[in-house]
């Protein structure tokens, strides 16, 4: 793999382990983030402090963004525009509004630079293990050039299509996963109410037609399975606040193109209630605590 000058902006639960994989692959990495501790951790791993987004882009051939929401991406692009031009590539791995993302494609392309939207699936565990799935929107030729900056933390890289298509595919994934989590929470609440052991539910459903990622990894009852967030202090693999944001994006995009999104309409208020209850920074399986409360379960 060729050694590359890579910038990375946004060292959160996903970004910092992704940077470690890039460094492990032998790339030169310059970083920036809003808080100091992850910058110091990245520097300790071998990265350089880029101070701010503009300086990171100036020092890098390919710059990856991994920030929470659409306004954050726009803010970074605003700061980076003076440093962009021919030979530069920006890859946004955040999950944001597809229309906002298409606007960033246009803004960056107008400078002569290249742009990809490349949202991720796999959560912080996938980032730590280097097994993320990356769904990419933009030109295939740009992706071919950028692949060495994605492969160190990715198990699968899929070219989804043109600008914004990566974001659309990610929202499709989030719609299904959030709906799974609500259904699993309600199924587990029903089982507990009836006195059924959740280990029995897990064994049956992982070998039956109800099998899904949520039943395998996120039964939302403490102690039911040892490797779930519920049994580990609700430590997030993916935060409730972020899933709530993503489902809001699903509803916005569905309304824009005129399709029904009934399952998103069902799960959105449950996620909102979980955020309101103070579970925003816990794993999104904490929406199961809302289901439990509404079911008069402890």
- What pLDDT was estimated at residue 86? 96
Work out the burial of residue 248: count CB atoms within 10 Å of its CB; fewer than 13 is exposed, 13-18 middle, 19 or more buried. middle
The separation between CA 298 and the C-alpha centre of its own chain, rounded to angstroms, equals: 31
Q: Are 167 and 95 in contact (CB under 8 A)?
A: yes
Read off the DSSP letter of residue 239: B
Pick the catalytic residue from 88, 170, 245, 289: 170
pLDDT, residue 79, reads: 95
pTM of the model: 0.94
pLDDT at 89: 98
> What is the pLDDT, as a whole number, of residue 164?
97
What pLDDT is attached to residue 1?
62
Cβ atoms of 239 and 174 closer than 8 Å: no
Given this model, what pLDDT does residue 51 score? 86
36, 90 Cβ separation under 8 angstroms: no
pLDDT score, position 200: 97
Q: What is the CA radius of gyration of the chain?
A: 20
pLDDT of 2: 73
Annotated active-site residue 245? The verdict is no
Please classify residue 278 by burial: count the beta carbons closer than 10 Å to its beta carbon, then call 0-12 exposed, 13-18 middle and 19+ buried: exposed
Cβ contact 48:59 at 8 Å: yes
Q: How far apart are the first and last CA of the chain?
A: 53
Domains annotated on the chain, with CATH: 5-162 (3.40.50.720), 168-294 (1.10.1040.10)
In this prediction, residue 298 carries a pLDDT of 82
Question: How much is the pLDDT for 3?
Answer: 86
Q: Per-10-residue mean pLDDT for the chain, 298 residues long?
A: 89 95 97 94 95 94 96 96 96 97 97 98 94 98 97 98 98 98 98 97 97 97 96 96 97 97 97 98 98 94
């Amino acid at each position: 793999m060729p050694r590359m000058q890579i910038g990375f902006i946004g060292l959160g639960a996903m970004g910092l382990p992704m940077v470690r994989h890039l460094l492990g692959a032998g790339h030169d990495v310059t970083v920036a983030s809003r808080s100091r501790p992850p910058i110091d951790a990245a520097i300790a791993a071998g990265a350089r402090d880029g101070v701010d987004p503009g300086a990171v882009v100036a020092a890098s051939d390919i710059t990856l963004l991994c920030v929470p929401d659409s306004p954050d991406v726009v803010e970074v692009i605003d700061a980076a525009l003076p440093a962009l031009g021919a030979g530069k590539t920006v890859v946004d791995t955040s999950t944001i509004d597809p229309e906002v993302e298409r606007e960033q494609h246009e803004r960056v392309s107008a400078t002569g630079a290249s742009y990809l939207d490349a949202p991720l699936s796999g959560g912080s565990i996938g980032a730590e293990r280097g097994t993320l799935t990356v769904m990419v929107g933009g030109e295939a030729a740009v992706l071919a050039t950028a692949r060495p900056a994605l492969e160190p933390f990715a198990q699968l890289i899929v070219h989804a299509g043109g600008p914004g298509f990566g974001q659309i595919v990610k929202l499709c994934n989030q719609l299904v996963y959030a709906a799974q989590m609500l259904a699993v929470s309600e199924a587990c609440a029903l089982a507990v109410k009836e006195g059924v052991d959740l280990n029995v539910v897990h064994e049956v459903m992982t070998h039956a037609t109800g099998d899904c990622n949520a039943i395998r990894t996120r039964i939302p009852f403490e102690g039911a399975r040892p490797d779930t967030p519920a049994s580990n202090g609700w430590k997030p693999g993916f935060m409730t606040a972020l899933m709530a944001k993503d489902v809001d994006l699903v509803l916005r995009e569905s309304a824009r193109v005129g399709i029904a999104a009934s399952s998103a309409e069902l799960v959105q208020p449950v996620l909102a209630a979980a955020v309101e209850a103070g579970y925003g920074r816990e794993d999104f399986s904490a929406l199961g605590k809302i289901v439990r409360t509404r079911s008069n379960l402890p």
